[in-house]
């Protein structure tokens, strides 16, 4: 069955370190997204991609970057981790063709910056 997976599920890192969160989907979806979830803020969009070599900034992109070298993967990099980036991160994907715009989410990565 097609799926979307994130790794790691939990990560503790130190302030100032570079961290990369992985997202891999086998839906063959063109669209991929990274959200962060914080209490009281819901799901906020960090970066998104509509296809290979395409990346776009979301509403909370400062301190984060992504790259899209193939259809399946959209890794999220924290250039220099800060305590404010402690959060739960969700990757999602959706189809860009036809009428089906449902977004499928990964299991989430809980990141703690100490």
Partner 1 sequence: GENVEQHPSTLSVQEGDSAVIKCTYSDSASNYFPWYKQELGKRPQLIIDIRSNVGEKKDQRIAVTLNKTAKHFSLHITETQPEDSAVYFCAALLQGAQKLVFGQGTRLTINP
Site residues (CB under 8 A) for partner 1?
Answer: 31, 33, 35, 40-45, 48, 50, 58-59, 90, 92, 94, 96, 101-103, 105-108
Neighbours of 51 (CB within 10 A): 13
Three-state SS for 34?
Answer: strand
Smallest distance from partner 1 to CB 15, Å:
26
The number of beta carbons lying within 10 Å of the beta carbon of residue 84 is 10
Q: Residue 32's closest CA among 49, 56, 53?
A: 49
Residue 10 vs 17, nearer CB to partner 1: 10
Question: Minimum distance from CB of 16 to partner 1 (Å)?
Answer: 29
Judged by CB, which is closer to partner 1: 35, or 78?
35
């Amino acid at each position: 069955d097609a799926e979307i997976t994130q790794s790691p599920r939990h990560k503790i890192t130190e302030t100032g370190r570079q961290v990369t969160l992985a997202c891999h989907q086998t839906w063959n979806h063109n669209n991929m997204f990274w959200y962060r979830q914080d209490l009281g803020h819901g799901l906020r969009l960090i970066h998104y991609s509509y296809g290979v070599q395409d990346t776009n900034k979301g509403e909370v992109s400062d301190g984060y970057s992504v790259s899209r070298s193939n259809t399946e993967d959209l890794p999220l990099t924290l250039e220099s981790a800060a305590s404010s980036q402690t959060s739960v991160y969700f990757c999602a994907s959706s189809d860009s063709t036809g009428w089906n715009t449902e977004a499928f989410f990964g299991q989430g990565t809980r990141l703690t910056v100490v």
